[in-house]
Amino acid sequence: MIRSLFISSTSACFELENQNAFYADSEYTVSVSGRELFKSNTNVFSVFGLNPSSEYVLEVTGEPPLVFRTRQETCAVSVRDFGAKGDGVTDDTAAIQTALNCLPAGGRLFFPAGTYCTAPLALKSHITLELAEDAVLLGSTDTEQYPVIPGEIPDLVTGKPVPFGTWEGDASPMHQALLFAEYAEDIRIIGRGTVDGNAQNSTWWINARDRKIPRPRLIFLNRCKDITVHGITAQNAASWQLHPYFSEGLRFLDLSVNAPKDSPNTDALDPESCDQVSIIGCRFSVGDDCIAIKSGKIDIGRRYRKPASRCIIRNCLMMHGHGAVTLGSETAGGVRDLTVERCIFRETDRGLRIKTRRGRGKDAVIDGVLFENIRMDGVLTPIVINMWYNCCDPDRYSEYNTTREKLPVDDRTPYLGKFTFRSMECLNCQIAACYCDGLPEQPIGEIVLENIRFTFDPDAKPGFPAMRNNAEEMCRAGMYFDNVGKLTVRNTELTGCDGDELLVHHVGALDRR
């Protein structure tokens, strides 16, 4: 069966319904209205170059035909008609921004093949940007061309703060992203072209943590809704590649997001305090977390109480990041209802990576997390739930965040609820099968592992399973649990483990079958 995920005026994205992770059973042929287009072997595929307001018949080998109709649009214009050169030399910023400003609601701005050198661009509601297959939006290497966006500005009448910029969970000034939208809706960024931050040719990655103003993202969306990013390649951002913030109704479909493995803080996709997020059919290979779901540090969490909620991650391929799917560490608003299924993780440091700590606050509730039908290979530690994360905060080495003594539960104490992992294969682990470490005063509520197979790399090297103070190295360790309320381990197999398969400390109830 074929599921339609998204249809624009000129493109469409589809998904094969099966139980496979990322790849289909076999190669198949895609035809549209009797014309053979390409062969594929992935569960998610896309069709481009369609006509607006037109009906098509999709045919895929072994599947019943599917009839679909493309969206209507008010107009389609080329960015070259506004003076953009696309020659890889000319600064096309003014031409592109003029075209965006002039585009009517429901219009499509088309970028034909070429390299369009540009400084940051501001998007507006009800438009489509389409990048042809050989079109590249190439970010300027001149850091002075990236304006500073204030974190908050007081309203002139009410005095209430109006939020604009952010960095790592706080309202903060920031450099404007290459593609930037605030308080906008109904935007589509589509095509087989590339949005390239070009940070590898600038100074953004040099002494990155020493900058007074945080580096720009590639695409930043603040308080937007109904946004679709489909088909493009996003790469080489100065910091995070795709950062939706306090937004809703988001679709990230059939994307490639890339950065060198050693590039600093180049997370692929970080939805922060966002609701209804679909990340489907994407390929990630970056220098930090592939997906990091966030909801702010304690000031933002207390003020807005806006959790990251209703996020689906499906049929994605994640490689080389610090974590494949990470929650945190900025989760003061909470994370609820996350489903990750039919994905492949290759050579990431961790598979699931939960990072929280004392001080995130009582609203930092993470609950309703399901991982199902996941395949991992070469992941150092497949499952990490760490309530002792020790990075990025000024008090990271304080007594409050290092003592293993049981402290009072108060307004600063986070909470982790239920986490379910089932039908997973984790091959060639190195450090540990899983490492779950709760707080003595607030244990992890419940962890369920069911139908999981772990194997270990015979050439594994010791390492630290989680970023925490006073951590000890491990190598080919089993399933480690400390401060967990209820633990269920069913039909779980470990091959090549050194020592005990199950390492349990301070677990309230244990059910192993």
Domain end: 269, 288, 307, which one?
288
Residue span of the structural domain in which 40 resides: 2-69
Residues 247 and 308 in one domain: no
pLDDT tens across the length of the chain (513 residues): 999 999 999 999 999 999 999 999 999 999 999 999 999 999 999 999 999 999 999 999 999 999 999 999 999 999 999 999 999 999 999 999 999 999 999 999 999 999 999 999 999 999 999 999 999 999 999 999 999 999 999 999 999 999 999 999 999 999 999 999 999 999 999 999 999 999 999 999 999 988 999 999 999 999 999 999 999 999 999 999 999 999 999 999 999 999 999 999 999 999 999 999 999 999 999 999 999 999 999 999 999 999 999 999 999 999 998 999 999 999 999 999 999 999 999 999 999 999 999 999 999 999 999 999 999 999 999 999 999 998 877 788 889 999 999 999 999 999 999 999 999 999 999 999 999 999 999 999 999 999 999 999 999 999 999 999 888 999 999 999 999 999 999 999 999 999 999 999 999 999 998
Contacts of 35 by beta carbon, 8 Å cutoff, 6+ apart: none
SS3 240: coil
Q: Is 196 a catalytic residue?
A: no
Active-site position among 322, 363, 393, 437: 322
Cβ atoms of 449 and 471 within 8 Å: the answer is: no
Active-site position among 254, 288, 363, 437: 288
Domain count, the chain: 3
| CA 357 distance to own-chain centroid | 21
Q: In which element (H, E) is residue 293 found? A: strand 291-293
pTM assigned to the model: 0.97
Three-state SS for 341-391 is EEEEEECCCEEEEEECCCCCCCCCEEEEEEEEEEEEECCCEEEEEECCECC
SS3 290: coil
Task: Give a yes or no: residue 293 inside a domain.
Answer: no
Structure letter (DSSP) for residue 160: -
Query: What is the CATH classification number for the domain harbouring 111?
Result: 2.160.20.10
Residues 366 and 487 in one domain: yes
**Alpha-carbon span 226 to 217, nearest angstrom:** 20
Domain end: 237, 263, 288, which one?
288
**Alpha-carbon span 116 to 89, nearest angstrom:** 8
Residue type, 53: S
Torsion of CA 251, 256, 260, 261, to 10 degrees: 70
SS3 444: strand
Domain end: 42, 69, 96, which one?
69
Task: Give a yes or no: residue 159 inside a domain.
Answer: yes
Q: What is the CA radius of gyration of the chain?
A: 23
Q: Is 170 a catalytic residue?
A: no
Residues 399 and 510 in one domain: yes
User: What burial letters (b/e) apply to 10-49, b meaning 16+ CB within 10 Å?
Assistant: bbbbbbbeeeebbbbeeebebbbeeeeeeebebbbbbbbe
Evaluate the omega torsion of the peptide bond into residue 329 and state whether it is cis, within 30 degrees of 0: yes
